[in-house]
Amino acid sequence: MSTGTNEPQHILILGASGASGLTFIKHHLSLPDSDASKPYLTLYIRTSARSKLASVLPSSSAPTNSDTPAPRIRIIEGALTDKAALLRALSADPTISFLKPTAVISLLGAYMSLYHFLTRTTPTPIADAFRSTIVPALRESGVRRVLVLSTPSAFPVPGEYESMSWGRWLLKLIPLIAIPQGAAEMKGIANAVIGVEGLEATVFRVPFLTDEEGPKEVEAGVIGQGFVDASSLARESMVRWLIKELDEKRWVGGAPLLCNP
């Protein structure tokens, strides 16, 4: 995976300590260090989340509290609203031979809250951080390529609902009713980047995510345009699709729905 030059990609991962982020790290570690196209990763995490990385990062490479716990991986701690820390994550570090990131992948998802379910309130702290801090940091650093996770219920492409069956329409309506705060968050994240001038943004929408391992085919498309979605997507296959999309750039400006057929 390369940038089209002799340099490999350098990906800043937001949400690196979540289930999908850990899957991304495990996939990265499975690639041989001798592979010149193996990307560099910057893992942007909260300080309290560092212990979660210990389950996937090799203890033999470096202490888990190291800022470079494995070859081509660095860790930077900070909140999503900490612009200084984000700019550091979006910068080069010549002391460890890290060039500036070429892309950002957000695997951030909404946190379910019983309080917000009961009160039907819909705060969107992650989406707010994208608008107030993350997108301005991207612009200031000059990093243009960004891929963010969302869901088909929260962020339907125009015309999709009109093209799907009643059964599928009802299935996609359930999250909007059952978890309105989560749906609002995922909608806000997508809206914070899609169509923003100066960004090469892709919103990748996912159904139910599973931990199935092994190579699985991924279909990407828009319902009603020759594409019929399925109900699940393996995290590992999602990671492989993201890496492929960084090279191919087929969905810049788009919002494909991903699934395992």
Q: Is the pLDDT of residue 63 over 50?
A: no
Alpha-helical (H) ranges within the chain are: 19-30, 83-89, 114-119, 125-129, 135-141, 160-163, 166-178, 180-193, 235-248
The whole-number average pLDDT for the span 168-175 is 70
Tokens of 31: 């690639």
Domain boundaries, the chain: 10-259
H or E element that contains 204: strand 200-205
Q: Is the pLDDT of residue 116 over 90?
A: no
Query: Residue 158: phi, psi to the nearest 5?
Result: -50, 130
Do 230 and 259 meet the contact criterion of CB atoms below 8 Å apart? Answer: yes
The percentage of residues in the chain with a pLDDT greater than 90, rounded to a whole number, is 61
Q: Is the pLDDT of residue 58 over 60?
A: yes
- Specify burial of residue 63 (Cβ count, 10 A radius: 0-12, 13-18, 19+): exposed
Query: Cα(117)–Cα(122) distance, rounded to whole angstroms?
Result: 9
Entry pTM: 0.91
Class of domain 10-259: alpha beta
Q: pLDDT by residue (tens digit) across 130-163?
A: 999 999 999 999 999 999 999 988 888 887 767 6
Q: Is the pLDDT of residue 28 over 90?
A: yes
Closest CA to 1 of 214, 225, 243, 242: 243
Q: How do 219-221 and 200-205 pair as beta strands?
A: unpaired
Q: pLDDT by residue (tens digit) across 210-248?
A: 999 878 899 999 887 777 777 899 999 999 999 999 999
Tokens of 77: 């701690």
